[in-house]
Structure 1
Amino acid sequence: MKELPKINQLRNFQAIIRYGSIRTASHALLQTQSAMTRSIQELERILGITLLARGAQGMVLTKMGRIFEPRVNMILNDLERAVDELHQASQLSQGTVVFGCSHLPAFSVISSLINRFQMEHPTASITIVEGQLSELITSLRLG
């Protein structure tokens, strides 16, 4: 079986993309820059491709990095959801609800529904993402 990337390597890759530099990403994840650099180098060695390159504005994705990024987001999201499901099934957590809607329902209908839901499920966490349908669909696909 091929050697697979480690979760921390995928998280580091995602953080560098999010923060735009190894330095900022390493601070955000409480790692040293050298540890983050080694992690990305090892990830690239395992995959046999270059994912990131230095650009004028910091680290940028290569062509292969742009192909790999959506999969990394999905993998980490799916893993997080799997862990959440296990916690919910074992009664360690009361769950998390995330949904998207346009601006109008968020201000009119949704508030009364959320209040009623929170009364029935006081330990549940609710996150509302507002936006246009096209933005919400993209966010849903990326997890």
Structure 2
Amino acid sequence: MSETAQLTNFKIFPKHTGVWEGDWTILDGDCKETRRFTAVVTQKIVDNEWRQTNLQTYANGQSETQNFVGYVVGEGQVQIEGLDSVFSNYNTLATEVGDDLIIFQVWDKATGFMRAVETIHLVSSDRRIRTTQSLTEEGKLRGVLVIVERRIE
């Protein structure tokens, strides 16, 4: 990969920098709601790396934070690493598609099985919709995550 591949010059990733707030709804494999919460997602580009922090807040007042870092691996492609234990078991490749879509593909590091596919559709400069299909090792639907977000900063 060329050293000139700068994340700030990508077509879509830079449009996602900022602070986003949204409602997250998790459905099981039968598409029945199992959980709902709000999250504030901070995304920025620092030293040609994608830096992301998710702060999830639940109805009972509990919260959790998840951190991710991404590295340019090709034109329009970023390898995302979860810095927290639950996400460190996965390989994630995010790829820009068209003018307003990023597709994330997530594989289990140990087995190589596809575990999830996520799309992030930038509807406007301050609104986006994210959907994730989670899969079992057999390729069956484990669940769906739907996120509707708006940029707050």
Larger radius of gyration: 1
TM-score by length of 1: 0.23
TM-score, structure 2 normalization: 0.22
More helix by share: 1
Which is richer in strand? 2
